[in-house]
Structure 1
Amino acid sequence: MQEANVLNEIRPMVVIGAGIVGVAVAEQLQYRGHKVTLIDRESPGRGCSYGNAGHFATDVVLPLANMKTILSVPKLLMDPLGPLSIRWSYFHKALPWLMRFAMAAAPGNVERSCQHLRALNGRSIESYDRLLGRTGLTDLMTKRGALTVYERPDSAHRNQSTVDLLKGYGVEIQSLAADEIRALEPALGPAVAGGLYFPRTAHTTNPYRLVTCLAQSFMCGGGETLRDEVVGLENASGSVDIRLSSGKKISAQRLVIATGSWSKKFAQQLGYRVPLDTERGYHLMLPNAGCELTRPLVSFERSFVMTPMEEGLRLAGTVELAGLEAEPNYARADILFKHAQSLLPGIENRGATRWMGFRPSLPDSLPVLGIAPENPRLAFAFGHQHLGLTQAAITAELVADQLEGKAPEIDLSPFSIKRFQ
């Protein structure tokens, strides 16, 4: 990140967090004519945005907290390298979050979360069209849809209730036979028994480059960046004071917190409690996979995704609850290759690299968006869980509208941090 010569002075607009959400918010505000400072301890995109699956997953409108998930948890936890893992040393810390997660799975709560997720996702691609169009980055979004594949003949029947639910919320889905799936992706082997095609989704071939290019566009447009660590926030008269590890202090007339999994402590410093925890996600990058896909492909039975990227084939997925401090368990990345071998005969892992990142997750699967209660100087844009990439552009537009005193395109009250107070 380009260093900025920041003195101890007032900044009109400050965004903390240079992941895809924070950069999109900063760019949107700068585009609208505001003087914006973007702060992060790392360069843009080096957090969760670096290693995500690259999928604009507009089809994901069913929250993780639902009865199907709850009923499957005991079986999932029996496999230490399966799609869900809880480190038992962390269980007591995760228990309050897990209890809220269970309550969020009640049918009425699930229905409300579906409606609100659909409101965001249904506008996400159009928001990206505007963002990438004006920044000259349209080549970083590929619109070829996505596939979910079945390996067992009975999987289509077992998944039908979910398919019907998604269609009821306006998600476009086409059922495909095995030969139709392989016609779209010839690299797939004989294990595929059929699947689903989601035509209204998209992917990026380089999520990290997407963030860095957006950050560069922000700076070229007059935005200011500061690479420093925020160590404290404090409400002041007419501003929010920001203390940095370098010893500098900045007073922000308007502040947006977009710090992903680290947002909980900053919200708490300003008087807001939020049940935010982190889902640790892993990826395995295959630069010499020896086979090609043309769009994201999700395995229904194995719960992981494969996405074609500029640097190779990315295998991503799994959920691990272990907090922000525990060492990575890279066996969770390595197991993804074994899963991929079942679908892509001849796939190779020569030169493979592993990565782990933190998904900021709230029990109801909804992010925290918008101006803080009783504090118009402060706004939030965090907690997007698995959908930070998908929802970044629409988040930026909605939060910018509120900061400018305009009515956002959708009601942000369901996403308010007030729901946890």
Structure 2
Amino acid sequence: MSVTRRTVLIGGAVLALAGRAQAAITLSAALDAAAEERDPEKARALLAGFDPRDLPPVAALDLVTARAGLASDIAIRRAGQPGFDVLLERIFGPHRGAAAVERRLIRAQQEATRAALLLFDARGIDGATPGARFVRLWHESDGQFADSDAGRDAAIVAMNKALDRLRAMLPTLIGPVPGYCRDVSATRGSPEEQASGKVGARRLPLPGRPGAYVVDLARIADRPRCSLPSVVAHELLPGHMIQLPIEAAARPHTLRLSYAPGFAEGWGISAERLVARAGAWADDPRAQLGYLHWRLFRIARARADIGLHVHGWSIDEARARLVEWHGEPAYFAPFDSDLARIAREPAARTAEMLFALAIEDGTRGRRGRGRIAYHQALLVDGRMRSDEIARRART
């Protein structure tokens, strides 16, 4: 190749990159305008002149997500009183309808329940329902941390020991991540944070600043030892402390965030399953049961979402189902307050669990490098909707 031709090709590539960058800047302004526009049809029209093929990957994902979400908003406005399916599509993406979604949730619930019952049988923990067995597990005296400063410190030590185990598993499950994402820990927080109730919060890591999950241990009797390892996977590694900082670095537009809000929670839920299936708790049946309780909690609240908004369940009926299915409420979600929230936010809890299932579906049949490549593809540009998850799973 001649120097002249090489120069021309390099120059053309530079111009193409510059053109894509300029298109992304122009799109950002259009997305800002669309976010301010109250009429979704007018907002979507503002994005009509853009082609995702002309944009860098992050901007292209902003565009397709915003267009899809605005299309749902248009359908909602035209419907007047929108049904559950269109509300779910708005915050999740294409799906097969509430009936098919419910069947999928039931299959996932049955799988988790069967696994839990086998472990309960092996430990000699019986009960009339799965929920009754979890209640017995929760109140085993040798599974509790002491209700004291020493007990709370011991809980944090146990969580950081689990974190070390999960940190070592990252290369074979997720692959390379920014170093600062690994620089995280569980903590009780400062005395001021504890006194003010600023606990149960995340401090996301940044370059040069470690991250932390400030654990709420005020009601430590409600946080048995078995429940905490999966919290580490969800809140720290490989959960939120990987996905959220990488997403922040990608700088997705706020419209994309609003039309795929459950992706981050879905990533955290799928992270719990990923490490459990990789054997993180193979030597600790209690921790495995703790993971399965978290799994059943997330599935059950999605089923309660459908029950309340599609089948017309009463709050009392939904509560009875939750008690039967997993017995003990999640620490941060007592049954009554959680059901009130589910009633106020139709489709939100279903979307979160569906995101987890969609992410998990993409790992089916993948091992080693293939699994790593898939997880990297889900992380690099920030959150996405169901159709984009499926597309990246196919590549």
Q: Same fold (TM over 0.5)?
A: no
User: TM (normalized to structure 2)?
Assistant: 0.29
Relative CO higher for 1 or 2, CA cutoff 8 Å, sep ≥ 6? 1
* Higher Rg of the two aligned structures: 2
User: TM (normalized to structure 1)?
Assistant: 0.28
Higher helix share: 2
Higher strand share: 1
